[in-house]
Amino acid sequence: MPQYHPPLRDMHFVLHELFNVADELKLLPAHADVDVPTINAVLEEGGKFASEVLFPLNLSGDQEGCTHDKTTHAVHPPKGYKQAYQQYVEGGWPALAADPAYGGQGLPIVVNHCLYEMLNSANQAWTMYPGLSHAAYECIRAHGTEQQKNTFLPKLTSGEWTGTMCLTEPHCGTDLGLLRTKAEPQADGSYKLSGQKIFISAGEHDLVPNIVHLVLARLPGAPEGSKGISLFAVSKYNVNADGSLGGRNGIFCNAIEHKLGINGSATCPMILEGTNGTLVGQPHKGLAAMFVMMNAARLGVGNQGVGLTEVAYQNAAAYAKDRTQMRSLSGPKMPNQPADTIIVHPDVRKMLLTARAYAEGGRALGVYIALLIDKELSSDDEDERKESADLVALLTPIVKAFLTDNAWLATSHCLQVFGGHGYIKEWGMEQYVRDARINMIYEGTNTIQSLDLLGRKILGDNGAKLKKFGQLIRDFVEEEGTNEAMQEFVNPLADLGEKVTKLTTELGMKAFGNADEVGGAAVDYLRVAGHLVFAYFWARMAKLALEKQGSGDPFYTAKLHTARFYFAKLLPETAGLIRTARTGVAPLMAMDEAMF
């Protein structure tokens, strides 16, 4: 049976030693009271909830899946999900990072982010139900009317209702400009919606009495394409003036999808017929309003990748220390046993260390960006808000795509450590691989993330945001320039920084001649950029580990070994990626379509 132990020690390292989160939060008026003991206590309790309540439902939920009742349109998640959700609500977890004005606890996003990593490790499918509620909360808070805020935010905050995002339609996924769902204005200022949405996560379920759907639709006479999309709040049950639930609204789930992974999460086609809705934000500006939700969700998906990488690593490491098979090439390590444990084999170690380096590097990047979001939302210094927002914009596609691509690689490696036992269901490893696959697809495929990074975030602003991150690297390299012990980390970091600058300029020039050049290079480019970001954080973690070598705590020795592994065995992948990015788009576009 699989196991999961909340990685609190590494979280403490990242939060308190690497980023001094409590000191940073003290500078933000909304979070000035948040100290180290508070953060640790919350995460300890959150870890217990994840490992003791959610984790035991992971395998069974995957095997059982959801059921749909065609007559009533009801969807029932697997056994135990509802009780776990009730415990989640009773524990006050949905309110953790919500505004006290709506009943929230007002803790920073960075704490919520760490909680969610543990929920994702324990049970990604279950975590989909509350996961989008916070994103819906953020969207309504940023763009809703006072009435919408008062109606929906307290219920989303308490967890009494959950939220969804309804974008995708059968003919329109990536290209939302094609969407057809209609919204007709009514005399009372509300709208009647009609159309079909597909693949809606947690679109229908019985964990809560009501669901708030944020739906993209077109107003009559709206401009074509993405400039004619508006956003609407739709409640499963109509809400009376006093806040109580009225009659059923015209939004129904007519089936559930049967899919590769996250089987406990209901993925719902939704039919809208004469559905009551209210406009969120301005007419035709729905996509911009929805981006608040999509960006929050993209970071959440990156965090799903880290969660799965961590839990897969823990299980593979435990197995590798237990399973005996063959002898070490350099002579028996367990001479009294008929064979050595497989952890003596270099390639088994490579697979384990890959997963570990991706989990710990991903955790550092995730916490960093979550803290930036806290600054963007809560700093009283306008410059700091803007700087933080720029870095968040730059790093969001990297978090979404790099961390989820890494999770797919890492979970596959961890399955491989189990050999044939990884491929059968009993050990739980094949579920991690299946669950990890969706993270590369939804919230904008990883290809779309790479186009967003290279085309919009980097070339689109002449590299201004990239330069900001580059400055952090240059400052660090300069600080450590004379530190002999750090050269093994600082030199490759500085070298990669220069190569990325050159590659960016080269791709920018090529894109002037042929815009397809961006599409041909973007995926390789994002992976190189991801490694640059990881190299920066791994170098910073190595510095701390070197400084604390004398403490005798093996945590720092392990951290240093993992950093060395990362620089020796993973970062060099960038050389090949840069070469393929530079070969241009011609080998991709030369073949005539008919020849495929």
Ligand X SMILES: Cc1cc2nc3c(=O)[nH]c(=O)nc-3n(C[C@H](O)[C@H](O)[C@H](O)COP(=O)(O)OP(=O)(O)OC[C@H]3O[C@@H](n4cnc5c(N)ncnc54)[C@H](O)[C@@H]3O)c2cc1C
The yes or no reply on residue 226 touching ligand X (CB under 6 A) is: no
Q: How far is the CB of 257 from ligand X (least distance, A)?
A: 7
Out of 137, 442, 525, 567, the only residue in the binding site for ligand X (CB under 6 A) is 442
Nearer to ligand X, 172 or 339 (CB): 172
Q: Does 445 bind ligand X (CB under 6 A)?
A: yes
To ligand X, the closest distance from the beta carbon of 164 in angstroms equals 6
Find, among 243, 217, 240, the residue nearest to 229 by Cα. 217
CA–CA gap between residue 414 and residue 363 (Å, rounded): 18
- Report the Cα 579 to chain-centroid distance in Å: 29
> Rg of the chain over CA atoms, in angstroms?
24
Among 165, 231, 473, 496, binds ligand X (CB under 6 A): 165
Binding flag, residue 159, ligand X (CB under 6 A): no
Site for ligand X in 519-538 (CB under 6 A): 519
Shortest distance, CB of residue 106 to ligand X, whole angstroms? 27
Residues in binding contact with ligand X, number by CB under 6 A? 21
DSSP string covering 111-138, please? HHHHHHHHHHHHHHHHHHHHHHHHHHHH
Q: Rule CB under 6 A: say whether 571 interacts with ligand X.
A: no
Query: Closest Cα to residue 229, out of 287, 294, 178?
Result: 287
Rounded Cα gap, residues 41 and 25, in angstroms: 17
The answer to the question of residue 166 lying near ligand X (CB under 6 A) is yes
Cα separation, 416 vs 321, whole angstroms: 14
What part of residues 411-440 is at the interface with ligand X (CB under 6 A)? 438
Quick one: DSSP state of residue 424?
S
The answer to whether 441 contacts ligand X (rule: CB under 6 A) is: yes
The amino acid occupying position 174 is T
Which residues, numbered 239-298, are part of the site for ligand X (CB under 6 A)?
A: 259, 267
DSSP conformation class of 535: H
Structure tokens at 13: 């390292």
DSSP 331: S
C-beta of 486 vs 511, nearer to ligand X = 511
Q: Which bin fits 65, alpha (ψ -120 to 50), beta or left (φ > 0)?
A: left
Q: Which span sits near ligand X by CB under 6 A: 198-206, 235-243, 326-334, 482-490? A: 198-206
The CA distances from residue 198 to 168, 176, 202, 255, in Å, are 6, 13, 11, 10
- Please, which residue, 142 or 441, has the CB nearer to ligand X? 441
Residue 154 is a binding residue for ligand X (CB under 6 A)? no
| Residue 167 interacts with ligand X (CB under 6 A): yes or no | yes
> Segment near ligand X (CB under 6 A), from 93-101, 341-349, 446-454, 576-584?
446-454
Near ligand X in 39-78, by CB under 6 A: none
Instruction: Select the residue interacting with ligand X from 200, 391, 436, 521 (CB under 6 A).
Output: 200
Separation of alpha carbons 141 and 155, rounded Å: 13
The piece of 163-171, 231-239, 369-377, 382-390 that touches ligand X (CB under 6 A) is 163-171
Residue nearest ligand X by beta-carbon distance:
173
**Tokens standing for 219?**
């107003």
Q: In this complex, which beta carbon is closest to ligand X, that of residue 374 or of residue 524? A: 524
Q: Angle 5-327-359 (CA atoms, 0-180°, nearest 5)?
A: 25
Give catalytic residues, as residue numbers: 443
Q: How far is the CB of 463 from ligand X (least distance, A)?
A: 22
- If one asks whether residue 305 binds ligand X (CB under 6 A), the answer comes out as no
Residues 452-491 that bind ligand X (CB under 6 A): none
Q: Which stretch binds ligand X (CB under 6 A): 61-69, 159-167, 358-366, 558-566?
A: 159-167
Using rule CB under 6 A, residue 447 touches ligand X: yes
Torsion of CA 293, 470, 307, 310, to 10 degrees: 180
168 is an interface residue for ligand X by CB under 6 A:
yes
Contact 269, 254 (CB under 8 A): yes
Q: Cα 436 from chain centroid?
A: 11
Asked if residue 196 binds ligand X (CB under 6 A), the reply is no
Applying CB under 6 A, does 201 fall inside the site for ligand X? yes
- Please state, in angstroms and rounded to a whole number, the distance separating the CA atoms of residues 470 and 120: 31
User: Contact at 8 Å (CB) between 239 and 245?
Assistant: yes
Looking at the Cβ atoms of 54 and 454, the one nearer to ligand X is: 454
Q: Which residues contact 170 (CB under 8 A, 6 or more apart)?
A: 196, 198
What's the burial of 105, exposed, middle or buried (CB within 10 Å: 0-12/13-18/19+)?
Answer: middle
Beta carbons of 351 and 414 less than 8 angstroms apart: yes
- Which among 86-94, 138-146, 197-205, 549-557 is the span making contact with ligand X, rule CB under 6 A? 197-205
* Residue 431 CB, nearest approach to ligand X (Å): 15
Which residues are at the interface with ligand X (CB under 6 A)? 164-168, 173-174, 199-201, 259, 267, 438, 441-442, 444-445, 447-448, 451, 519
